[in-house]
Structure 1
Amino acid sequence: MITVQFLLTAFVVVIAPGTGVVYTLAMGLGRGRRSAVAAAVGCTFGIVPALAAAILGVAAVLHTSALLFNIVKFAGVAYLLWMAWGALRQTGALAVKPAETRDESLARVAWRGMLINVLNPKLSIFFLALLPPFLSGDPARVTVEMMGLGVVFMAMTFGVFLVYGLFAGAFRDRLLGSQRAMAWLNRSFAAVFAALAGRLALERA
C-alpha cells in the first residue's frame, strides 16, 4: 500500500546517484535539456521489465540462477564500458558537444537510458525486496498492489530525473565556451561509467 514510509523510502532510493542519474546528467550537460528529458523518459521505462519480473517471480529465478544473473550482468558491464569508451574518445553517447544534438534522435537517447536499467539484474531483485513489506498481505491483491507501488516509483523516478536533467541542461550553457571544461567533462563521464561498470561486475545475485 502507498504509505508515507513507502514514499520516503522510494524517494531516498530514486534521488541517490546511480547509473540512470549519471546518464541523465550527462545528457543534460552534453546534449541539452531535450536530451535530458528523453533520458529521464528512457530510464523510467527501463524500470518496467524489472517491475514485471518482480511481479511474475522471475526475479527470484534470476536471484537463484548464477548463470542467468551473470549473463545479464556482464551484458550491462559491457554496455557501460562501451559508453565510457565513447565518452573518452569524445565521439560516443556521453560526449559533451557544443550544440544541441542533431545527429541522433531523442528516441535513441531514451533507448540507451532504457537499456541501462534493463541490463541491470539487481533492479528486479531490488523490487522483489522493496515492495513486499508495503503490501497489505491479501494474496488476491498482491499483483495490483505491486503494480500500483511500481507506478508510483516510476513516476517519482521520472520527476527526480527530470529535475536532475533540467538542472544539468541549465548549467551546460556556462561550459560551452570552454573547450577545456568540455574535455574535462568527457573524461569525467568516462571515468564514472567505467567505475559503475566495475561496481556492477562485482555484484552478486
Structure 2
Amino acid sequence: MSNTGRVFTFYLAAVGALVLLTLLPGPDVAVVTRFALGGGVAAGARAAVGVVGGLAAWGVLTVVGLAAVLAASATAYTVVKLAGAVFLVGMGVRMLWRSRRRDSLPTDARPAEAGHAARSGLLTNVLNPKIAVFYTGLLPSLVPAGGSPRLWLPLLVLTHAVLSLAWLVGYAAVLSRSRSVLGRPGVRTVLDRVTGCVLIGFGVRVAAEAR
C-alpha cells in the first residue's frame, strides 16, 4: 500500500472513532433539544453552531498546548467543571420553572429564546473540561505513526467539528418537523420537564465526575 493509501486508511479509522463519539448523547444534545423544540430548526441550528464553537475553542487550545495544562491542573479542571455544572443545572431549573406556567401557551410564545441559543450551546462546551481531556488524550492517539501532530490535530479537530455540526443540525431538523405533535401545550410541557431534568442530571454528573 502506498503512503497516501496508508494515510487515507488512518484518517478513515479516525473518522469512524469520531463518529461514534459524536453520536454519544451528552449535554450538547440536551441543549439543542431545548432550543429546537422551543424555536424550531433555526434555534436548534444556532445552538448547534454554539456547541461547535465550543469544540473549536478547545481545539485551538489543544493545538497550542493550553488544554493539556488545564487537563493536568486539578484546580483549573475543578473550577471549569463546577462552572459548567452550575450552568447546566441552572438551565434545567429554568426549564422546569417555566414549564409550570406554559401549560396553556403555544409553542412559539417565547420566540426570543432563539436569540441566546448559540451562546448557550457555546457555554455548554466551553465549560466542559471533559472535552479538554478528550482532545488531549484521544486525539493524539489518532495521529498515524510518523504523522505530524501540528498537521493532524487541526485536521481531527476540524473533522470532529464538522461531524458534530452535521449531526446536531440534522437532529434539530428532525425535531422541528415533529413540532406539530411535540409542540402541543401538554406534550411540550412534559418534554420541557423531561429535558430540564436531563440537563440537571448532566450538570450533577459533570460536578461528580473525576478526571
TM-score, scaled to structure 2: 0.87
Match of 1:8 among 16, 24, 41: 16
1:60 — aligned with what?
A: 68
2:205 aligned partner, one-letter code: R
Percent of residue pairs identical: 25
Cα offset, 1:59, TM superposition: 2.4
| Contact 2:80–2:127 (Cα < 8 Å) also in 1 | yes
CA distance in 2, matches of 1:3, 1:144: 12
Match of 1:113 among 101, 113, 121: 121
Equivalent positions of 1:69-148 (< 5 A) are 69-90=77-98, 98-99=107-108, 101-106=110-115, 108-138=116-146, 141-148=148-155
CA distance in 2, matches of 1:152, 1:190: 30
Residues 98-141 of structure 1: CA distance to partner in whole angstroms, max 9, x if unpaired? 117532454x21111011000001101101122112224457x3
1:11 aligned partner, one-letter code: V
| Contact 1:51–1:127 (Cα < 8 Å) also in 2 | yes
Does residue 25 in structure 1 map to residue 33 in structure 2? yes
| Contact 1:87–1:187 (Cα < 8 Å) also in 2 | yes
SS at match of 1:32: helix
Residues 30-89 of structure 1: CA distance to partner in whole angstroms, max 9, x if unpaired? 221110111111111110121122222222222221111111010001101110111001
Does residue 176 in structure 1 map to residue 192 in structure 2? no
| Contact 2:38–2:113 (Cα < 8 Å) also in 1 | no
Gaps of 5+ in 1: none
Distance 1:185 1:42, change over 3 A: same
| Contact 2:62–2:135 (Cα < 8 Å) also in 1 | yes
4+ residue runs of structure 1 moved beyond 4 angstroms?
none
SS at match of 1:17: coil
2:163 — aligned with what?
A: 156
Cα offset, 1:97, TM superposition: 5.7
Distance 1:60 1:174, change over 3 A: same
CA distance in 1, matches of 2:188, 2:142: 44
| Contact 1:31–1:100 (Cα < 8 Å) also in 2 | no
| Contact 2:31–2:47 (Cα < 8 Å) also in 1 | yes
CA distance in 2, matches of 1:100, 1:38: 19
CA distance in 2, matches of 1:43, 1:100: 25
Gaps of 5+ in 2: 1-6, 100-104
CA distance in 1, matches of 2:205, 2:35: 22
Higher helix share: 2
Larger radius of gyration: 2
